[in-house]
Structure 1
Amino acid sequence: MKLRKKSIRVLSLLIALSMLLTNLVFAQEEIVLKENVQQIGPHTYYKNINWISDKGIFNINVVETDMKGEYIRIEASDNGKATGTSTVTKQAEPKNSVDSRVIAAINGDFFYTNSLRGLPIGTTIIDGEIRKAVEESTVFGVTYDGECFIDKLKLNAVAKIGKETYAISAVNGPRRENQLILYTPSFGNTTNTNGMGIEVVIKGLELPVKAKSEYKGVIASVLNETDAAEIPDDGVVLSGHGLAAKFLSTLSQGDKISFTLDFNIDDIKYAVSGLPRLIEKGNVVPDLDKAGVPAGRNPRTAIGIKEGKVIMLTVDGRKKGFSDGMSLTELAEYMLSLGIEDALNLDGGGSTTMIARKQGYYGPRIVNLPSDGYERPIANSVQIISDAPLSNPKYIRFERDSIKIFANSSYTPALYVMDEYFNRVNIGDDQVKFTVSKDLGKIEDSGLFTAGKKAGTGFIEGALGTEKSRLNVQVFDKVASLKILNDYISLEPGEKVQMQVKAYDETGDEIIIDPSAINWVVAGGIGTIDKSGVFTAGNNLKDGRIVARVNSTEAYVDARVGNLPIVLEGFESMDNIEIKSVRAKATATTSQEGEPVVLGSSALKFQYDMKTEETGTSAAYVSFKNPIKVPGKPIEIGFWAYGNGSENWIRGTYLNGAGERKIMNFTSQGGFNWDGWKYVYAEIPKDEKYPISIEQIYIAEPTEEKKSAGTIYFD
């Protein structure tokens, strides 16, 4: 892509980077591109791309590694069996030890969301064990010698009774017409089948089942037209329907049987399926948006291979103003622009997740923004693992490149130390030596910096032996604007609150400022405030104002002594409301004359339809474009809900003072079961981190049979 406006590249590690991640190459268009690149392990680089163009907004995360690099392994993982789900983060935890650690991972295959929840759609191989296999699927695979590939994987599995043979259609999959299915202990306790077939239980096998192996056993029992055979810990079940059942019908307890499992590709240690294939031998696969995967722009996860390197990639979506997501064709073209020769689409939407151990992290954390607002449990994942040993400290880095600070204010800069393999290591408090530019201020051995009285520029330097890092510092003696972070003060008589203020310069950058540098004024006789900015509510129930001043610049916040119910949103207009949905359709307007209302002139009329062809949890959201800031320390959040007897689930989310997203349950699952108006509320934990901001309220349904459509009202 030709950059016509501006390209900003931030290298967070000042060493020579040999990344082969190229710039975007679509059409020539005007864009703003911000890239942040850092090495996170041996031969492994993480890259965040924020791309704004006339095509849209895209937040892209990429990890690239050398599949044959020293100390690097690429593996797949799941929750320990074929069914069930767990998050990418949870699947990484067992791989983290003193000797090895996951440095990056992404979610893997699509999966069932019904009674077989968590069962991958395609073939999965974990450490050689065939967790799930289908007749044919496209996989990202890793061989025993560490080679990675993307290709079609075909199952060649046969059961043999005497001289008679019958093809095994799948391992640990749902049984269909005339199919013979092999079930292993990884599938669960039972086969989860109906009574329309025959199942034979084989015990005494050497497990787990792997490719290129012949398994011989003796029939422990034969179940004819009974539901769901139990799968023994030391054996398997062969389940047949139709012609396959006829093949099994000659067997009795004590008879011998054998089966073999193989694939068209040898020596596979790990495999995760996806669809569709995006790029094959350097060419975009045609008709991608007809591949049976949700079309249009959505969050995406993909994996690719180029010149001996593996590239993991996520594109966030469903986040207006942050990232639009990509269509499959856009995704393929973008990956082709990176020089990727083969690429595979993985599960996307709310499943899209990438974790990475960025510089300064002890372990991997989520680096993308999941569209559901939280990390979704998924079927399996692909991981990059570093076996590099912990070694001596080598790199020292300040967490920030620069700071702006007000005169006489104090700040302790955060820094971290890494070894030569980018493992974070701990050091003694006295090992880093701090110095500061002349006349800029003073710094203690602990790193506490106190700015001087005069404006000026300089730097703080931290040294670990011969390795040094600098933090640029600018001292201000005036500010352009102030912002009180306490949006509204609501206290009981005698209660205290620490006032928090941010200061900004002319460019909008934050200036670090001590509360003691603020001149405080309390108006209305509502209480007192000390020099450190601690406000104490008075004894009278009344309203007032708290004012913060620095020279001639000031800001204020309204305050109330005595807590009373506060209306946060009256649903009188749609100005701050947008409607979103997942596996559902939804619209909303303000109610009209004659329609249900509790307070004011209107309520929110919310029409939804969760009866779509997509499986998985359906939800329709009333989202607030600007999250509603809640004053004080509320004990509960509530509203009036006009039900239609749907027996669905009303929930919501808010952000707490630490930026953590929390879920509110206004009803239990299935508890939205009434007709007409009813007041619903969710309690806020007493130990919550305030202030909180309400993001959305929504109706959800995880059970396919209970998905509904209708009209409800909120007020």
Structure 2
Amino acid sequence: MGKKVKYSFILFLFVLVWGGQSNASAAVVNEFQVSPGVKYKENQEIVNANNQNIRVMEVNLKDPYTQLELSYPNPLNTLATTSRQARENTRNGHRVVGAINGSFFDMSAKTPMYLISYNNRIINSGIVASGNDQYVNKPIAFGIDKQGNPLIDSFNMKLSLNHNSNTYEITGINKVRNNDNLILYTPENTGGYTNTNPYGIEVIFKNASKNKDLEFGDTITGVVSEIKPHGDSTNTKVPEDGFVLSGHGDKLALLKTMNLGDEVQIQLNIDEKWKGSKFMAASGPTLVNNGKVELGMDPNSSRARERAPRTAIAIDKTMTKVFLVTVDGRNTNSRGMNLTEFAQYLVKAGAYKALNLDGGGSTTMVVRKQGDDYATLINKPSDISERGVSTTFQAISTAPLGDPARMELSLSKGGEILVGSTITVNTMVLDQYYNRLALDSSKLSISTDLGTVKGNSITLSKAGKGFVTAKYGNVTKQIPITVVSEAAKFKDVPSSYPYYREIKYLTDRNIITGYTDGTFRPGNTLKRVDAALLLARSLNLNTSNVPNVQFVDVPKTYRYYNEIAAVAGAKIMTGKAGNKFDLNAPLTRAEMAVILQRAFKLQGKANVEFKDVKPGSFGYEAISALIANKITEGYNDNTFRPGQAVTRVQYALFLYRSL
């Protein structure tokens, strides 16, 4: 093998081996700035011997143009995909540049399961599950407090009723009444009715001091106007000026003490750290606390141990950066993580506090790619298509449209372009805030020294390598271009390929051909049957009148029987043990040397100094002849590697030199 061949082959092997091990360690798959305060990064990693595709959006809340918001459904019993919610919340000066799915929801009722508040208003009072095997078994939430700081912490929501100087706990607001619950229903409940079963008592109040847009800190009053007894199956309508208290089980006793005309006071409170918050959304379990793994549920429970897609929200130690994180799952490229692995990864990524969100088929991330107007799906949901969800966390850019700051160019044709072709230059201009600007064609100039420009089209008139240059305002961008006088036959063998001339020579004469997809595949291993075909063509052997050969694996019905018989009859290639031709065996370098010497009757001898080719070994004389005819020089480590398989490009090069 010549030195040029060696270097090309080593490069090919490097690409092949490196490409085959791309999942063997952490590798950045994609990374870009989304907006002034938002960065996106995608990693492909192996965690505990499992492939994982991990995406992180870093949201810097210290950036003056960056905010984090909660999106929730209106009405509450509706679902929408994360990308749809992001699009619908995008407007000038308020662009959703990224989002992830939020907390858990009831897929049947399509309602959120846990506490949601927005601008201190109670959107959904939610529940807290019982049992350490449940995701949300403690009252924990993520939110933005009244100072604008991100917060992951516990909360203590206090909903209480005062009647006749007695105070009672209210279980929730506008939610399904379950056993031993006392529920407050307002006109904002779905449909304006309580929708309860007949196994409780409902007290109807009018003249409410407030019954809509309830907030933490509110104290509301109302007067009893009607009492519906236990067993009444009619659906209770909530008065427009009132509310309803609906009780079951151990809450019936207190409702029985009420009489028409009684006044009650209802107080809605939450601990001070959450009062007045911009928003808060409960979820769970806790994954990281104070920079350490702290799982807020039984790590040995089936839910925690399940390997699944995951979503989390996290805060760094400075409490200024929020990380929106997803891990795909249930596919070969990304198996998904259990909760302990997820928490460990978040600690490694810099999380000081982290909270688990809804996962599985709900795990979704959308990002505004550079040049796009809207955030679009960027991960691979396990349901294949994007699932409708209840809440989302959205990264917002409030930056205005600015001045041209960066430009991206692309050509309508890539690779080598034929002289005489006309191509289109596609231009995208971004401002300093990564917003795409509307293009003013009067401000755009395009030039190249390889053709003539008209508008954004170029007619290429000269072969060579050069650039297409675009200027827009103070921004200049170049893109390299290669123009050739004739088109390359194979898309993986451009004219710049080191052995383009040799491959072209052989393919022009139909000695060697490519594949139906337009590739040559120079690195593919050559089989013995391939070598026979190439020799028959290059030597113009008579394949019509061939001798009878008796290879057990080459019946006369085999489609290349004549070519193999012609080569064997010319005593260029022989069979192997057991009278087999061994059609699909890789051709070795020693075999290649022998058949080339026989085929082209190479004369001459040269000293064979390769340390792996000894006198008397198979191919020794043929290798000597190849050296004498300057067809090969071997490798720089003084080896010939006679047992190594030959690639298509190596054989093409040796065949070209022999011819």
In the other structure, the counterpart of 1:23 is none
1:502-521, Cα deviation, whole Å (9 max, x unpaired): x44479x9xxxxxxxxxxxx
* Mapped partners of 1:233, 1:469: distance in 2: 63
2:155 pairs with 1:163: no
In the other structure, the counterpart of 1:10 is none
2:484 pairs with 1:458: no
SS of 2:315's partner is: strand
What amino acid does structure 2 have at the position aligned with 1:132?
Answer: N
* CA 1:556–1:281: 2 relative to 1, 3 Å: closer
What amino acid does structure 1 have at the position aligned with 2:246?
Answer: S
* Mapped partners of 1:331, 1:67: distance in 2: 24
* CA 1:110–1:404: 2 relative to 1, 3 Å: same
* Mapped partners of 2:440, 2:201: distance in 1: 67
Q: Alignment partner for residue 346 of structure 2, among 314, 335, 339?
A: 335
* CA 1:394–1:170: 2 relative to 1, 3 Å: same
2:74 pairs with 1:63: no
Mapping 1:480-499, distance limit 5 Å: 481=490
In the other structure, the counterpart of 2:516 is 555
In the other structure, the counterpart of 2:481 is 473
1:586-643, Cα deviation, whole Å (9 max, x unpaired): xxxxxxxxxxxxxxxxxxxxxxxxxxxxxxxxxxxxxxxxxxxxxxxxxxxxxxxxxx
* Mapped partners of 2:97, 2:452: distance in 1: 35
TM-fit CA distance, 1:338: 1.1
Mapping 1:270-669, distance limit 5 Å: 270-286=279-295, 289-290=299-300, 293=303, 295-306=305-316, 307=318, 308-320=320-332, 322-398=333-409, 403-408=414-419, 409-436=421-448, 438=449, 441-442=450-451, 444-451=453-460, 454=463, 456-475=464-483, 477-479=486-488, 481=490, 503-505=491-493, 555=516
* Mapped partners of 1:37, 1:401: distance in 2: 25
* Mapped partners of 1:291, 1:234: distance in 2: 47
Q: Alignment partner for residue 156 of structure 2, among 154, 157, 160?
A: 154
Q: Alignment partner for residue 182 of structure 2, among 174, 180, 183?
A: 180
* Mapped partners of 2:366, 2:153: distance in 1: 25
2:214 pairs with 1:209: yes
Q: Alignment partner for residue 140 of structure 1, among 135, 139, 142?
A: 142
In the other structure, the counterpart of 2:195 is 192
2:240 pairs with 1:229: no
CA RMSD of aligned residues (A): 3.1
TM-fit CA distance, 1:33: 0.8
SS of 2:306's partner is: coil
CA contact (8 A) 1:181 1:240 kept: yes
2:253 pairs with 1:242: no
What amino acid does structure 2 have at the position aligned with 1:555?
Answer: T
What amino acid does structure 2 have at the position aligned with 1:87?
Answer: T
* CA 1:285–1:53: 2 relative to 1, 3 Å: closer
Mapping 1:71-110, distance limit 5 Å: 71-110=65-104
1:184-233, Cα deviation, whole Å (9 max, x unpaired): 44441233321111123334425211111111122343322335533445
What amino acid does structure 1 have at the position aligned with 2:427?
Answer: L
TM-score by length of 2: 0.65
* Mapped partners of 1:474, 1:404: distance in 2: 7
In the other structure, the counterpart of 2:39 is 45
* Mapped partners of 2:188, 2:460: distance in 1: 62
SS of 2:80's partner is: coil
Highest relative contact order (Cα 8 Å, sep 6+), 1 or 2? 2
1:26-81, Cα deviation, whole Å (9 max, x unpaired): xxx94151342222122111222233577232222211112232022211111124
TM-fit CA distance, 1:450: 4.3
* Mapped partners of 1:445, 1:128: distance in 2: 59
CA contact (8 A) 2:187 2:211 kept: no
* CA 1:556–1:427: 2 relative to 1, 3 Å: closer
In the other structure, the counterpart of 1:596 is none
In the other structure, the counterpart of 1:262 is 269
* CA 1:200–1:32: 2 relative to 1, 3 Å: same
SS of 1:211's partner is: coil
SS of 1:555's partner is: coil
* CA 1:83–1:184: 2 relative to 1, 3 Å: farther
* CA 1:54–1:113: 2 relative to 1, 3 Å: closer
What amino acid does structure 1 have at the position aligned with 2:290?
Answer: K
- Residue ranges of structure 1 left out of the alignment (5+ in a row): 7-28, 482-502, 510-548, 558-715
1:277-308, Cα deviation, whole Å (9 max, x unpaired): 11011110146644663632211111100021
TM-fit CA distance, 1:403: 3.9
Q: In percent, how many aligned pairs have the same letter?
A: 30
In the other structure, the counterpart of 1:599 is none
TM-fit CA distance, 1:274: 1.8
SS of 2:156's partner is: strand
TM-fit CA distance, 1:372: 1.2
CA contact (8 A) 2:201 2:252 kept: yes
1:338-384, Cα deviation, whole Å (9 max, x unpaired): 11100111111111111121210112111112221222111111111
In the other structure, the counterpart of 2:224 is 219
* Mapped partners of 2:86, 2:277: distance in 1: 21
* Mapped partners of 2:328, 2:245: distance in 1: 42
CA contact (8 A) 2:71 2:85 kept: yes
CA contact (8 A) 1:140 1:271 kept: yes
1:231-269, Cα deviation, whole Å (9 max, x unpaired): 445543322112212211233444322211112232222
* CA 1:78–1:465: 2 relative to 1, 3 Å: same
What amino acid does structure 1 have at the position aligned with 2:81?
Answer: T
- Aligned pairs, how many? 463
CA contact (8 A) 1:157 1:260 kept: yes
What amino acid does structure 1 have at the position aligned with 2:286?
Answer: R
* Mapped partners of 1:426, 1:86: distance in 2: 30
* Mapped partners of 1:294, 1:129: distance in 2: 32
CA contact (8 A) 1:112 1:120 kept: yes
CA contact (8 A) 1:171 1:181 kept: yes
Between 1:355-364 and 1:234-243, the stretch displaced more is 234-243
* CA 1:420–1:237: 2 relative to 1, 3 Å: farther
1:663-714, Cα deviation, whole Å (9 max, x unpaired): xxxxxxxxxxxxxxxxxxxxxxxxxxxxxxxxxxxxxxxxxxxxxxxxxxxx
CA contact (8 A) 1:212 1:262 kept: yes
CA contact (8 A) 1:403 1:471 kept: no
1:438-483, Cα deviation, whole Å (9 max, x unpaired): 3xx32534322445564x43332221122122223344644464xx
Q: Alignment partner for residue 117 of structure 2, among 97, 114, 125?
A: 125
CA contact (8 A) 2:299 2:340 kept: yes
* Mapped partners of 2:353, 2:452: distance in 1: 53
CA contact (8 A) 2:120 2:275 kept: no
CA contact (8 A) 1:358 1:364 kept: yes
CA contact (8 A) 1:43 1:69 kept: yes
CA contact (8 A) 1:304 1:344 kept: yes
SS of 2:303's partner is: coil
TM-fit CA distance, 1:167: 0.4
CA contact (8 A) 1:110 1:121 kept: yes
